[in-house]
Chains A and B, each alone.
Chain A
Amino acid sequence: MGALENIIIILYLALVGYLGFLGYKKTKNATDYLIAGRDTHPFVMALSYGATFISTAAIVGFGGVAAWLGNSLLWLTFFNIFIGIFIAFVVLGNPTRKMGYRLNAHTFPEFLGKRYDSKFIQLFGAFIILLFMPLYATGVLIGGTQFIALYYSVDYHVALLVFSVIITAYVIAGGLKGVMYTDALQGTIMFFAMGVLIVVVFNALGGVNEAFMKLEKVWSATVSDPLLHVSLKELKPGSPDFMMKLSMMWGFEGWNKMPQFFSQGWLFVITTITFGVGIGVLAQPQLIVRFMTVSSKRELNRAVLIGGVFILFMTGVIFIVGALSNAWYYEFNEGKNALQSAGAIGKVIPHFINTAMPKWFSFIFLFALISAAMSTLSSQFHTMGTAVGRDFFEQITTKKYNSTVITRVGIVVMIIFSVSLAYAFEKQPAIIARSTSIFFALCAAIFLPSFIGGLFWKGASKIGAIASMIVGFIVSSFWLLFVHFTEAKQLGFCKLLFGQDSILSGKIIFVDALMIALPLSILTFILVSWLSKKPDEQHLYKCFQS
C-alpha cells in the first residue's frame, strides 16, 4: 500500500471522526440523539436514507446476481426508485413526519405504539428489531470486514475489531446526527465511485448499445450452446456452469431477457428480488425514522430529487455493470463469462473491479464498499440501541431515566452482540447470508399494514394492528422456515423435522414469503379493525389533528 493510499485512509478516518464529533457537539437532548433534532438538511437526509438502504450486500451480492441472471434485475431498480424513494417520500414521508411530531415519537416502534396507544405494539416492534436486526447487521459486518481483511492483507479478527471500534465511536458519541452526517459523506463516496464505474465500463465495451448487444453473443458462446445438451447432474454443484445451467432450467434465455413468464426464474426475480426488497423497504424501521428527522415537507420534496438520482447510481449502475461484466470478461479474459472468470456469484464484483478497473479505482471502490457497510451498520446499531433503550427498557420500567444514556448503553450492548456473532461466524452461515432478505420480508409482513393503515385510516384499531402484526410474523416465519426454496433449505429446520428441504413442491416454493404473508397481514388488519372497537376520538384527534 502506497503513501498516498495511507494519507487518503487517514483523511477519511479523520473526516468520519470529525463528523461524529460534530454530531456529538450538536446533540443537546434525547430528540437530537434519537431523531437528529428533527431539523436535518435534505441533502444529508436523502443520502443517509440511500446509504443506509444500500449495503455492501446490495452492491456485491446483488451485483453478482446480476452477472448471473442479467438485466431482469432492473425491475428491482425501478421499484427501488419508484416505491423506495418516490412513494416513500411523497406519499408516506410527510404524514409520518407530522404524526411523529404530534405524538412526539422518537423511534419507529414508539411511533406505532403511540399511534395505536399500545405499549404491546411498541414492545413487539422492539422485539422484532432485536431478534432479527442483529443477524442482518452481522451479515453486513462480516461482508465489510472480509473486504478490509482481503484488501489490506490483515487478519479478519483484527479488521473486525478496528472496523467495529470506529463505527461504535461515532454512533455512541454523535447519535443519529453523527450517523446521518457520516452517512452523507459515505453516500457521496459511493455515488462518485458508481459514476466512474459505469462510464469506464461502457467506454471499455464500445458504448451503451454496443455493450448490451455483446451480451447476446456471450450468452450463446458460453451458456446456451455449450450447456444445451449437458444435464445438471453432470456438473459440479455450485460451479459456474452449474449455476448457468440452473438459470437455463429456471427459464432464463439471456442476460438481456426476462425469464419465461411464471417460470421458477420469473418467480424468483419478481417475487423474491423485486417485490421482496422493493416493497420491503417501505417497512424498514431504520429508514422510516428518517422521515421524522426533517422539519418540513419542503425538505422531503428536495430529498426526492437527491434520493432518486442516488439510487439510480447505486442499484441501477451495479446491476448493469454486473450483467455487462460477462461481456467484458468474454472480450478480455479468454472468452469466459463472469461466473467462469470469478468462480462464484459473490466474487464477481470484487474480481471484476480488481481485474477490469485501474488500480486507483479499485482503491476508491473499496472505499465505496466500506462506506456502504459503515452507513448501513451505523444506522442498524443506532436503531437496535433505541429499541433496547427507548422501546424496551423505558417501557418496562416505571422509573424515569435519561433516554440518551439508556440508548447509548443499548447501542453498546447490541454492538457487542453483533460483533460477537461476526467473530463466531467468520464464514457466514446460511442464516446470516440470507438475513437481509429475511429481515425485509418479515418487516413488510409485520409492520407495513399497521404503518400505512395508521397513517391514512382513522378506522384502524389497536386490536387490528396487533392481530395483523402477529399474523404477519407467524406466516412469514412459517414460509421462510418450511417453504421458500432458499431460506427453508439453508435454515434446515424443515429437513430436520420432515426430512425434506420444503414441505411443498413445484413453483410455489419460489414465491417469496412477503407475497403470502403480506396479503394475509393486510386482510387481518382490515377485518379485525372493522370488527373491533373503534379507536377513541380524542386519541385520533391527537394523531391526525382533524
Chain B
Amino acid sequence: MGSFDFGVNLAFWLMILSTVLCVAYGWLNWNKDGEKQIDGSVANWAKEEDAIEEEL
C-alpha cells in the first residue's frame, strides 16, 4: 500500500499474512488429529453424569 507509512504498512501486511497463515494451517491440517479418545479412564464420564442426573 503506497500511501501507508511503514508502521501501518507493516500492520496491514501482517494482518493479511496472519489470515493466510490461518487458512494454510486449517487447510493442511483439515483431516489431521481426528482421534477423539483421550484416555480410557475418563471415557465413561458422560455415563456417570447421566447416572447422577437420574439419581437426582
User: Which residues of A approach B to under 8 Å, CB–CB?
Assistant: 28-31, 70-72, 74-75, 77-78, 81-82, 85-86, 90, 94, 98, 101-102, 104, 208-209, 212-213, 215-216, 254, 256-258, 295-298, 301-309, 312, 316, 400-402, 545
B38 to A82, Cβ gap below 8 A? no
Closest to A270 in B: B7
Minimum CB–CB distance from B27 to chain A (whole Å) comes to 6
Which among B8, B21, B49 is the interface contact of A256 at CB below 8 angstroms?
Answer: B8
A82 touches B21 (CB 8 A): yes
Return the CB mask of B1-34 against A: 1 if under 8 Å, else 0. 1111111100110110011011101110111111
**Which residues of B are found within 8 Å of A70, using beta-carbon distances?**
8
A81 close to B18 (CB less than 8 A): yes
- Our pick among B1, B7, B22 for the contact of A307 (Cβ within 8 Å) is B22
How distant is the Cα of A30 from the Cα of B51 in the complex, in angstroms?
Answer: 12
Contacts of A309 in B (CB 8 A): 19, 22-23
- Chain B interface: which size bin? 35 or more
Name B's interface SS.
helix
Across the interface, do B22 and A296 meet the contact criterion of CB distance under 8 Å?
A: no
Prevailing SS type, chain A contact patch? helix
Q: Complex formed: what's the CA distance from A147 to B1 in Å?
A: 35
Which interface residue of B5, B22, B30, B42 has the most chain A CB atoms within 10 A? B22
Measured between beta carbons, the chain A residues less than 8 angstroms from B11 are 71-72, 74-75, 77-78
Q: Are B38 and A101 in contact (CB under 8 A)?
A: yes
**A30-B53, A302-B26, A402-B56 as given contacts; A257 in contact with B7, CB under 8 Å:** yes
Within the complex, which residue of A258, A304, A402, A545 is in contact with B8, where a contact is CB–CB below 8 Å? A258
5 additional A-B residue pairs with CB within 8 Å, beyond A257-B7, A305-B23? A28-B50, A31-B49, A81-B22, A102-B42, A256-B8
Q: How far apart are B14's CB and chain A's nearest CB, in angstroms?
A: 4
Contact A71 B4 (CB under 8 A): yes
Residues of B within 8 A of A312 (CB): 15, 19
Whole-angstrom distance between the Cβ of B42 and the nearest chain A Cβ = 6
5 contacts between A and B (CB under 8 A): A104-B49, A209-B1, A212-B2, A297-B34, A545-B38
Which 5 pairs across A and B sit closest by C-beta, in order of nearness? A305-B26, A308-B22, A258-B7, A297-B33, A301-B29
Question: In the complex the two chains form, what is the Cα distance from A307 to B36 in whole Å?
Answer: 22
Alpha-carbon distance A308/B16, docked complex (angstroms): 10
A142 vs chain B, min Cβ distance (A):
30
B2 and A304 contacting across the interface, CB-CB below 8 Å: no
Of A72, A296, A402, the residue contacting B33 (CB under 8 A) is: A296
B17 to chain A, nearest CB (A): 9
Q: In the assembled complex, which residues on chain B have CB atoms less than 8 Å from the CB atom of A86?
A: 18, 21-22, 25
Bound Cα distance A28, B47 (Å): 12
Contacts of B7 in A (CB 8 A): 72, 257-258
Per the bound structure, the CA–CA distance linking A209 and B9 in Å amounts to 12
A104 to B50, CA, bound (A): 13
Q: Which residues of B contact A216 (CB under 8 A)?
A: 3
Complex contact A78–B3 (CB within 8 A): no
With both beta carbons as reference points, the residue of chain A lying nearest to B37 in the complex is identified as: A296
A474 CB, nearest partner CB in chain B, Å = 33
Give A450 Cβ to nearest chain B Cβ, in Å.
22
A535–B31 CA distance with the chains assembled, in angstroms: 37
Say how far B46's CB is from chain A's closest CB, in angstroms: 6
Residues of B with C-beta under 8 A to A74: 8, 11-12, 15
Question: Are B8's CB and A298's CB within 8 A?
Answer: no
Among B6, B14, B26, B35, which residue has its beta carbon within 8 angstroms of that of A304?
A: B26
B29 partner residues in chain A, CB cutoff 8 A: 298, 301-302, 304
CB of A400 within 8 A of CB of B56, answer yes
**In the complex, what's the smallest C-beta–C-beta distance from B13 to chain A, in angstroms?**
9
Known: A85-B22, A304-B26. A298 touches B2 (CB 8 A): no
Contact A78 B26, beta carbon cutoff 8 Å: no
- Minimum CB distance partner of B53 in chain A: A29
CA distance A309 to B8 in the complex (A): 20
